[in-house]
Amino acid sequence: MRNGIGIYRADCGLIGDNSILGNGGNGVSMSGGTLFQGKGDWSFTPGPDIITQNKLSGIYGWNGSRLDIREVTAYGNTQNGIALSLQSTLRIYNSDISSNLWNGIALYDGSSVARYSSDSPRDSITNNVRWGIICESDSKLVGVSSNVTGNGGGQVNCPPVVVP
Of the candidates 63, 64, 62, 114, the residue with the CA atom closest to the CA atom of residue 93:
114
Confidence of residue 37 (pLDDT cuts 50, 70, 90): confident
Mean pLDDT over residues 21-28, rounded?
97
Direct distance between the N- and C-terminal alpha carbons of the chain, in angstroms, rounded to an integer = 43
In a domain, 162, yes or no: no
> Is the pTM of the predicted complex or chain greater than 0.85?
yes
In a domain, 116, yes or no: yes
Asked if 25 contacts 55 with a C-beta cutoff of 8 angstroms, the reply is: yes
**Number of domains making up the chain:** 1
- Whether the predicted pLDDT of 60 surpasses 90: yes
In a domain, 26, yes or no: yes
Confidence of residue 79 (pLDDT cuts 50, 70, 90): very high
In a domain, 67, yes or no: yes
Confidence of residue 40 (pLDDT cuts 50, 70, 90): low
In a domain, 163, yes or no: no
Domain with 88 in it: 5-157
Cα–Cα dist 52/143, whole Å: 27
In a domain, 61, yes or no: yes
Half-sphere exposure for 79 (CA within 13 Å, toward CB): 18
In a domain, 105, yes or no: yes
Of the candidates 30, 110, 125, 109, the residue with the CA atom closest to the CA atom of residue 72:
125
Confidence of residue 140 (pLDDT cuts 50, 70, 90): very high
Average pLDDT along the chain: 92
Mean pLDDT over residues 7-12, rounded?
94
In a domain, 33, yes or no: yes
Q: What is the pLDDT of residue 93?
A: 87
